[in-house]
Amino acid sequence: MALRPRFATLAVNTKVNAQGVLLNAGYLDIYDGTQPATANTAITTQVRLARLTFGSPAFASAVAGVAAANPITSDVTASATGTASWFRAVQADGVTVVYDGSVDTADANLNLTSVAIAGGASVAVTSFTMTEL
Protein backbone atom coordinates (compact mmCIF):
# COMPACT_ATOMS: atom_id res chain seq x y z
CA MET A 1 0.00 0.00 0.00
CA ALA A 2 1.24 3.52 -0.80
CA LEU A 3 2.12 5.89 1.99
CA ARG A 4 -0.25 8.85 2.21
CA PRO A 5 0.49 10.90 5.30
CA ARG A 6 -1.98 13.68 5.97
CA PHE A 7 -1.09 16.13 8.70
CA ALA A 8 -3.58 18.12 10.72
CA THR A 9 -3.43 21.90 10.43
CA LEU A 10 -2.20 22.07 14.02
CA ALA A 11 0.82 19.90 13.17
CA VAL A 12 1.63 21.84 10.00
CA ASN A 13 1.37 25.22 11.73
CA THR A 14 3.50 23.97 14.64
CA LYS A 15 6.26 22.91 12.24
CA VAL A 16 6.24 26.24 10.38
CA ASN A 17 6.19 28.21 13.64
CA ALA A 18 9.17 26.22 15.00
CA GLN A 19 11.15 26.92 11.82
CA GLY A 20 10.26 30.59 12.13
CA VAL A 21 11.60 30.73 15.70
CA LEU A 22 14.92 29.33 14.44
CA LEU A 23 15.21 32.40 12.19
CA ASN A 24 14.60 35.06 14.86
CA ALA A 25 17.22 37.79 14.16
CA GLY A 26 18.72 35.45 11.56
CA TYR A 27 19.75 36.17 8.00
CA LEU A 28 18.45 35.81 4.47
CA ASP A 29 21.54 35.34 2.30
CA ILE A 30 21.10 35.68 -1.46
CA TYR A 31 23.58 33.83 -3.68
CA ASP A 32 24.54 33.36 -7.31
CA GLY A 33 25.49 30.02 -8.87
CA THR A 34 23.93 26.61 -8.40
CA GLN A 35 21.85 25.91 -5.33
CA PRO A 36 23.46 23.07 -3.33
CA ALA A 37 21.81 19.65 -3.41
CA THR A 38 20.58 20.02 0.18
CA ALA A 39 20.54 22.71 2.84
CA ASN A 40 23.23 20.66 4.62
CA THR A 41 25.60 20.92 1.65
CA ALA A 42 28.44 23.40 2.11
CA ILE A 43 28.73 26.43 -0.11
CA THR A 44 31.66 26.17 -2.50
CA THR A 45 32.02 28.56 -5.44
CA GLN A 46 28.72 30.38 -4.96
CA VAL A 47 29.05 34.05 -4.05
CA ARG A 48 26.87 35.72 -1.44
CA LEU A 49 25.43 38.80 -3.12
CA ALA A 50 23.50 40.24 -0.18
CA ARG A 51 22.67 39.53 3.45
CA LEU A 52 19.37 40.78 4.87
CA THR A 53 18.29 40.45 8.49
CA PHE A 54 15.08 38.84 9.72
CA GLY A 55 13.22 40.55 12.55
CA SER A 56 12.79 39.11 16.01
CA PRO A 57 10.37 37.49 15.90
CA ALA A 58 11.15 36.63 12.29
CA PHE A 59 7.64 35.45 11.37
CA ALA A 60 4.04 35.94 12.38
CA SER A 61 2.13 32.83 13.51
CA ALA A 62 1.36 30.36 10.75
CA VAL A 63 -2.13 30.06 9.32
CA ALA A 64 -2.90 27.00 7.16
CA GLY A 65 0.82 26.21 6.97
CA VAL A 66 1.90 29.68 5.82
CA ALA A 67 3.82 32.21 7.94
CA ALA A 68 4.53 35.75 6.75
CA ALA A 69 7.87 37.28 7.66
CA ASN A 70 7.86 40.32 9.85
CA PRO A 71 9.74 43.25 8.27
CA ILE A 72 13.16 42.25 6.93
CA THR A 73 15.95 44.82 7.08
CA SER A 74 15.64 46.68 3.80
CA ASP A 75 17.93 48.85 1.73
CA VAL A 76 20.87 46.58 2.35
CA THR A 77 23.89 47.29 0.17
CA ALA A 78 24.84 44.35 -2.05
CA SER A 79 28.30 42.99 -1.26
CA ALA A 80 28.95 41.58 -4.75
CA THR A 81 27.70 41.66 -8.34
CA GLY A 82 25.97 38.63 -9.84
CA THR A 83 22.76 36.91 -10.82
CA ALA A 84 20.69 35.83 -7.81
CA SER A 85 19.59 32.21 -8.18
CA TRP A 86 19.04 30.88 -4.65
CA PHE A 87 18.96 31.87 -0.98
CA ARG A 88 19.96 30.37 2.32
CA ALA A 89 18.15 31.27 5.55
CA VAL A 90 20.46 30.98 8.56
CA GLN A 91 20.15 31.49 12.29
CA ALA A 92 21.36 34.59 14.15
CA ASP A 93 24.84 33.04 14.51
CA GLY A 94 25.19 33.60 10.76
CA VAL A 95 26.15 30.00 9.98
CA THR A 96 23.54 27.49 11.20
CA VAL A 97 21.35 26.71 8.19
CA VAL A 98 17.57 26.44 8.48
CA TYR A 99 16.67 26.10 4.81
CA ASP A 100 17.46 27.02 1.19
CA GLY A 101 15.22 28.07 -1.66
CA SER A 102 15.16 29.25 -5.24
CA VAL A 103 15.33 32.89 -6.39
CA ASP A 104 13.89 34.28 -9.62
CA THR A 105 11.49 36.96 -10.80
CA ALA A 106 8.46 34.61 -10.69
CA ASP A 107 7.55 31.08 -9.61
CA ALA A 108 10.42 30.79 -7.11
CA ASN A 109 10.64 30.52 -3.35
CA LEU A 110 11.90 34.12 -3.31
CA ASN A 111 10.69 36.38 -6.12
CA LEU A 112 12.75 39.50 -6.75
CA THR A 113 11.98 42.40 -9.07
CA SER A 114 15.29 41.65 -10.80
CA VAL A 115 17.81 38.87 -10.25
CA ALA A 116 20.63 41.10 -11.52
CA ILE A 117 22.32 42.43 -8.40
CA ALA A 118 25.08 45.02 -8.57
CA GLY A 119 27.64 45.38 -5.82
CA GLY A 120 26.94 48.51 -3.80
CA ALA A 121 23.31 48.71 -4.95
CA SER A 122 20.34 48.56 -2.60
CA VAL A 123 18.66 45.17 -2.09
CA ALA A 124 15.26 44.89 -0.41
CA VAL A 125 12.73 42.15 0.31
CA THR A 126 9.33 43.67 0.98
CA SER A 127 7.47 40.44 1.73
CA PHE A 128 8.44 36.85 2.37
CA THR A 129 6.45 33.80 3.39
CA MET A 130 7.43 30.37 4.61
CA THR A 131 5.10 27.60 3.49
CA GLU A 132 4.88 23.97 4.53
CA LEU A 133 4.33 21.96 1.39
The domain segmentation of the chain, as residue ranges, is 9-131
**What pLDDT shows up at residue 76?**
86
Full-model pTM: 0.92
Helix (H), strand (E) at residue 69: none
**What pLDDT shows up at residue 74?**
72
Strands 110-111 and 82-83: unpaired
pLDDT values of the chain reduced to their tens digit, one per residue, 133 residues: 789 888 999 999 999 999 999 999 999 999 999 999 999 999 999 999 999 999 999 999 999 999 999 999 876 899 999 999 999 999 999 999 999 999 999 999 999 999 999 999 999 998 899 998 6
Other CB atoms within 10 A of residue 82 CB: 20
Dmax of the chain from CA atoms? 56
**What pLDDT shows up at residue 133?**
65
CA 21 vs. chain centroid, Å, equals 13
Q: How far apart are CA 53 and CA 84, in angstroms?
A: 17
Q: How far apart are CA 102 and CA 59, in angstroms?
A: 19
The residue type of 44 is T
**What pLDDT shows up at residue 73?**
87
